[in-house]
Every structure is written in structure tokens, then in C-alpha cells.
Amino acid sequence: MPIPKEIKKIAHEYSVLMAKDIPESNCLKNEVISSTEDYIVQFMSWICTNFCIVPKSKVKERYKESKLQSKAELKFDILIGNSRVSLIESLFNVDDL
């Protein structure tokens, strides 16, 4: 689960994106950014109580690590590694990874 600092950063990035078409000279731009950010922080905090939010880069990294596991590892470790890869493949479109 993202920590509050990460949630705030994501919310800010999203709110700036949502306000990108508002001219800098418009005094409402900062208000739109602020209110959107507050809403997204609340939403993400709520959603993180029931769902796992993981950056796609972390999923890609773990997927590649699992695929590169050495064949010399213990059978138990290989089984776990293959299970992880299968889980990722079933949760995510592998072509996108």
C-alpha cells in the first residue's frame, strides 16, 4: 500500500494534469488543483484499504526476476517462482509487461 506521502504525490500529479488546460493567468487554476488533490487523496486512501495498489514498474521488475530464476534452485523455490509468474500473467496482460 502506498504511504501517505506517495498518495499525496500521485494526487498532486493527477490534479495538475486535470488542470493543464486552464490558463496560468486564471485564478481558479490553483483552486482546481487543490480541490482535485484533496479529493484524490481521500479516494486513494479509501481504495487502499481494500485493494493493493502497485506501480506497474514494480510488477515488471518482479516479473522479470521470476522469469530469470536459475534452474539450479531448489524445486520448491522454482515452484514458488513459477507460481508467481503464473499469478502475474493471470492478473496482468503479459504483452503490456
Q: Are residues 66 and 45 in contact, defined by beta-carbon separation less than 8 angstroms?
A: no
- 10 touches 18 (CB < 8 A): no
Q: Please state the separation of Cα 73 from the chain's center in Å.
A: 30
pLDDT in tens, 19-76: 999 998 888 999 999 999 999 999 999 998 888 777 788 778 777 776 666 554 545 4
**Rounded Cα gap, residues 65 and 69, in angstroms:** 6
pTM of the predicted model as reported, rounded to 2 decimal places: 0.58
Tell me how long the chain is.
Answer: 97
Q: Which three cell numbers stand for residue 69?
A: 530464476
What are 11's three cell numbers? 494526487
- Which three three-digit cell numbers place residue 53? 495498489
Predicted local distance difference test score (pLDDT) of residue 74: 45
Q: Which residue has the cell 485493494?
A: 51
| 72 vs 92, residue with greater confidence | 92
Neighbours of 40 (CB within 10 A): 19
